[in-house]
Amino acid sequence: MSEIIVQNGLFHLRNGRMSYFFRLTGDGLPAHVYWGERLERLDSPLDRLFFESRESDYCHNTLELEKLPQEYPTWGHGDLRRGALEVTAADGSTAVDLCCEGYSITAEKPTLAGLPATFDREGGSRTLSVAYADAVTGLRVTLLYTVFDDCDVIARSARVENAGPRAVSLERVMSASVDLIDDRWELITLSGAWARERMIDRRPLKPGFQGVDSARGASSAQNNPFMALVRPGTDEFRGEAYGFALMYSGNFTALAEVGMYRMTRAQIGLNDAHFRWLLEPGETFTAPEALLAWSNTGLNGMSAQYHTLVRRHVVRGRYAQAQRPFLLNNWEATTFNFDEEKILQIARRGREAGLEMFVLDDGWFGHRDDDHSSLGDWTVNLKKLPHGMNGLADRIHWMGLKFGLWFEPEMVSPDSELYRAHPDWCLHQPDRTRTEGRWQLTLDMSRADVCEYVENAVAAILDSAAIDYVKWDMNRDMSPVGSALLPPERQAETAHRYMLGLYSVLEHLTARFPNVLFESCASGGNRFDLGMMYYMPQAWCSDNTDAGSRVLIQYGTSLVFPQSTMGAHVSHAPNWQTGRMSPLRTRVDVAMWGTFGYEMDLAELDADQLAETRADIAWVKAHRDLLLYGDSIRLLSPFEGDTAAWMVVAPDRSAAVVTAVRLLAHANERRERLRLAGLAPETRYRVEELDVVLTGQELMRFGLPLRFAPGDDQSLRFTLVAEQGGDSCQ
């Protein structure tokens, strides 16, 4: 049960496992006290003993504020570290000094104006709002904290109101800041690039600034809006881990600053590079929500908290807890080169194999026969689809399949009717070359007229035919960033206003079409973040569909995101991105750790492979509830060796599926055993592939033998089913 207790200036948020608390100093500053395993005593003198000496220093010398672990520090008034809030007042001054004015506690999880935010529909959370004010500028800052019953996560945000008489420029507004009292941490981030997203990087903290960010207009494939601080020695199952994730899809910063007193300041929020927000009197600015997770059972423990949060408090709508249809996408089979009959042939083969939905990818609109034209012209190309979108959708549905469609609504091609009519609708700066990427420009979603056009254009297609699924793509970063409608003093607001416009469009479309399954895509995983998950319950992990590459991509992704959010498909071999020839079984075993589907022309399979594919699809269907919504546990990291392994366990521990992939074979290898986790120790499990019954304890202590076939990219799959009675082994 979550609760918030306030006593003598001490704010204590806790649930059944975790405590988080801070206190007010004598000057009304919020000082961080503790975050970790639940503490029972509320009137402990420990925080007073710790702060007495520090607060005494602070009271005698304002610059000693740098020694105080703060909860939401400001810059320019004694603390020389980077502030969570930095401003420039109308007179050019930059100092801010916040003092607490009051607080409130509610059982309702608040929404955030114009932004995605976690929710709680079951009454299983408590929210603390603490109000602060700066007497000179008139700024009022409200810090929001939510603690949940069912996951060890604190949701934090900040709201800044200008209650003064003159405009103020916000230069930096962090969503969360936590001062930790030492620097004995290692930093984990998810970094990479297109086709190798969310690679796990781990390094010790050093004095100064370290972390990740994005100034690309999207949360990016280069760096995910997440970081974790872990104690040295923390692994998947042991040790403390503190996660910081941002529920936002644009420019962000996640950093750890180790100061001269060896304290660590962890912050996450909007990237202050190229950002400035002019806050007029009476206006309010709301920062995106940060999700802070804690675990004392290693990285798997931290991930379990995030997975619960995403499933119960982030993903909304019909598909939040529902099965996702197994789909077949035509892109790798046809690219732009298709007509209606070819599409129908591919769909028939998918239906015969047991798939449930066909998705038509890029090339169905305007005169788009390659990627040089037509983005923005969302009208059906009747040369390719003579019966229109409705005619194709009807034929697909007649086969017994659902029908999905690809869009890239945020982009415009210079060769398009839309661009010729509205050349000022793209992001650009005056007298500068309009930089193209993939022969396209980015529409200015900070403009209401552009948002209205995008929303209406997508809605018109969805209204015209029975469409069950939308793949929402975004294939380039933003550069240059500028808006024709914003005045010079507000140009630095463009990137954030873009995201607010996009979120508004997505909110309207998902509400208008509640039965459509939306999937986020941005050149693969360029926008794989909690902000998009609020509108779309799944995202395409990467354009790289190579099984060996996907093991690393999906393993890293699972640090924060459950498998029900990860778009993962079986694709052609040799693979387009790597040229690797992975076995079909391995491609299936990796893809079933996500929202299962196919990205290939099934006509390329021989009779044996097609029979294997039918059997694979039937097997995944039989275990789909477990695979999609079971508890995901990482066992062996591909970032630490040549073998990766993970398992998905039923919440009641009655069944599990275990997958192991050997990425690189070696001669004369030793025999390996894989120890499992998360099982009921006394329960007997039949391991179907080995025809043996073992207790959960035996499986977790001794493990299963890993006997791979010769060659690279070989996989093993084990299915565990709990049995009643019987000997412990046979």
Q: Is residue 486 in a domain?
A: no
Helix (H) or strand (E) holding 421: helix 417-421
- Among 97, 120, 272, 543, which one carries the catalytic annotation? 543
Contact status, residue 284 vs residue 142, Cβ threshold 8 Å:
no
Q: Is residue 356 in a domain?
A: yes
Domain match, 11 and 117 both = yes
DSSP label at residue 168: E
Query: For the purposes of burial, counting CB atoms within 10 Å of the CB of 682, is it exposed (0-12), middle (13-18) or buried (19 or more)?
Result: exposed
Residue 683, amino acid: T
Q: Is residue 674 in a domain?
A: yes
276: domain CATH number is 2.70.98.60
What is the share, in percent, of the chain residues with pLDDT greater than 70?
96
Residue 368 vs residue 53, higher pLDDT: 368
Domain match, 648 and 605 both = no
Q: Is 13 helix (H, G, I), strand (E, B) or coil?
A: strand
- The pLDDT tens digits of the residues spanning 362-412 come to 999 999 999 999 999 999 999 999 999 999 999 999 999 999 999 999 999
Q: 79 pLDDT band (50/70/90 cuts)? A: confident
- Among 150, 213, 377, 473, which one carries the catalytic annotation? 473
Beta-bridged to residue 127, according to DSSP, are 106, 146
Q: Is residue 678 in a domain?
A: yes
**Beta carbons within 10 angstroms of residue 347's beta carbon:** 23
CA-wise closest residue to 468 among 518, 511, 507, 506 = 518
For 640, phi then psi, to 5°, come to: -120, 0
CA-to-CA dists, residue 381 to 364, 377, 475, 515, 621, angstroms: 6, 10, 21, 26, 35
Sign of the torsion formed by the C-alpha atoms of 271, 272, 274 and 278:
positive
Distance CA 577, CA 513 (A): 34
Distance CA 333, CA 472 (A): 20
Domain match, 247 and 308 both = yes
687: domain CATH number is 2.60.40.1180
Describe the crossing of helices 388-398 and 340-353 by its angle, rounded to 10 degrees. Answer: 20
User: In this model, does residue 59 exceed pLDDT 70?
Assistant: no
Domain match, 77 and 219 both = yes
Sign of the torsion formed by the C-alpha atoms of 524, 526, 528 and 532:
negative
Residue 500 vs residue 605, higher pLDDT: 500
pTM above threshold 0.95: yes
Q: Is residue 432 in a domain?
A: no
Distance CA 563, CA 291 (A): 19
Domain match, 618 and 639 both = no
Q: Is residue 244 in a domain?
A: yes
Domain match, 33 and 174 both = yes
Domain match, 152 and 289 both = yes
Domain match, 162 and 253 both = yes
Pair of tokens at residue 554 = 């999906």
Chain-centroid distance of CA 268 in Å reads: 14
Sign of the torsion formed by the C-alpha atoms of 495, 497, 502 and 507:
positive
Domain match, 338 and 470 both = yes
- The pLDDT tens digits of the residues spanning 572-583 come to 999 999 999 999
Tell me how many domains the chain contains.
3
Domain match, 118 and 103 both = yes
- The pLDDT tens digits of the residues spanning 280-335 come to 999 999 999 999 999 999 999 999 999 999 999 999 999 999 999 999 999 999 99
Q: Is 147 helix (H, G, I), strand (E, B) or coil?
A: strand
Residue 545: which domain range?
327-408+448-475+513-629
- Domain edge (last residue) among 285, 314, 343: 314
Q: 615 pLDDT band (50/70/90 cuts)? A: very high
pLDDT for 42 equals: 67
355: domain CATH number is 3.20.20.70
Pair of tokens at residue 539 = 């995202």
Sign of the torsion formed by the C-alpha atoms of 628, 633, 636 and 639:
positive
Domain match, 335 and 355 both = yes
Chain-centroid distance of CA 408 in Å reads: 20
DSSP label at residue 42: S
**Any idea which residue has 């569909």 for tokens?**
545
- Domain edge (last residue) among 588, 611, 629: 629
Q: Is residue 423 in a domain?
A: no
Pair of tokens at residue 703 = 């493990």
Beta-bridged to residue 643, according to DSSP, are 662
pLDDT for 282 equals: 98
Return the CA Rg of the chain: 27
Q: Is residue 148 in a domain?
A: yes
- The pLDDT tens digits of the residues spanning 238-266 come to 999 999 999 999 999 999 999 999 999 99
Contact status, residue 354 vs residue 616, Cβ threshold 8 Å:
no
Domain match, 331 and 303 both = no
Q: 726 pLDDT band (50/70/90 cuts)? A: very low
- Residue 473 annotated to the active site: yes
Distance CA 296, CA 548 (A): 31
- Domain edge (last residue) among 284, 314, 344: 314
